[in-house]
Chains A and B, each alone.
Chain A
């Protein structure tokens, strides 16, 4: 069995096709009322404190994770191409309040819209470098030892 280091990529991509026009799906991502209706990142609805969907504009969502604790999700819009593309920074306690980049693509075909979401920069570059040089050398050694034994 080959030994390889755990995949510590900084990003992932997922996609889903929705039974709606790109315009409708885009609105669901960019209008406060809609976001409050569907977006529940920790199982709870968010409260939209700020939503300024313009280049450089900010958003600020609050969500109550317990009666006494509120988490905050904040970011800025980096690119807006209505209704095809939305790129924004994303920082929350789940990212240790570090900025990550979320890109959402909306591709309409035959009345359906494929949404592709990528979240990037989930770990800083120095962390990754340390991981690469550190962990991979360890794994290489283990692989060598096993190769010698067999």
Chain B
């Protein structure tokens, strides 16, 4: 259950990260491969601090990973969080599958409908009271 919550919270941050055009642009660029933050910031008419805010949102969502080489910061794409989104749906499905198992057991255990027993019609003729 705790997993459900964690996944959902992470999902939320993933989707709010994807909701912004600058951040989507960064992800697109990173789909070509690793890039430095300076390279990534170049196409945007933004101050570096403003651009770094976007980077932090992506990092927080777990969509990108930062690597430091000397004084240079590299970013690369990290698509794992979207796998969690898929898992989250699968967990709901599994929950209901288990409930179906429980329901089948319950229905078997509480089945009090009479078994269809074959009627012995010949016995009835014996019981026939005829004058």
Do A and B associate with each other? yes
Q: In the complex the two chains form, is B27's CB within 8 Å of A12's CB? A: no
* A81 interface contact, C-beta 8 A: no
Closest Cβ–Cβ distance, residue A137 to chain B (whole Å): 6
> A1-32 interface mask toward B, CB cutoff 8 Å, 1 = contact, 0 = none?
00001111100101010111100110010000
Q: Is B4 an interface residue (CB 8 A)?
A: yes
Interface footprint category on B: 35 or more
Q: Are B104 and A18 in contact (CB under 8 A)?
A: yes
- Give the number of chain A interface residues (Cβ < 8 Å): 46
Contacts A28-B107, A39-B102; is A117 near B96 (CB within 8 Å)? yes
Which residues of B, 90-131, contact A by the 8 Å Cβ criterion? 91-93, 95-100, 102-108, 110-111, 113
Map CB proximity to A onto B67-98 as digits: 1 under 8 Å, 0 otherwise.
Answer: 00000000001000011011011011101111
B18 at the binding interface (Cβ < 8 Å): yes
User: B60 within 8 Å of A by Cβ?
Assistant: no
Residues of B whose CB lies within 8 Å of any CB of A are 1, 4-5, 8-9, 11-12, 15-16, 18-19, 23-24, 27-28, 31-32, 77, 82-83, 85-86, 88-89, 91-93, 95-100, 102-108, 110-111, 113
In the A-B complex, the 6 residue pairs with the closest CB atoms: A134-B18, A38-B106, A130-B19, A141-B31, A127-B15, A94-B4
Contacts A6-B82, A94-B8, A123-B11 aside, 6 further interface pairs with beta carbons under 8 A come to A6-B85, A19-B107, A28-B103, A123-B15, A127-B12, A134-B23
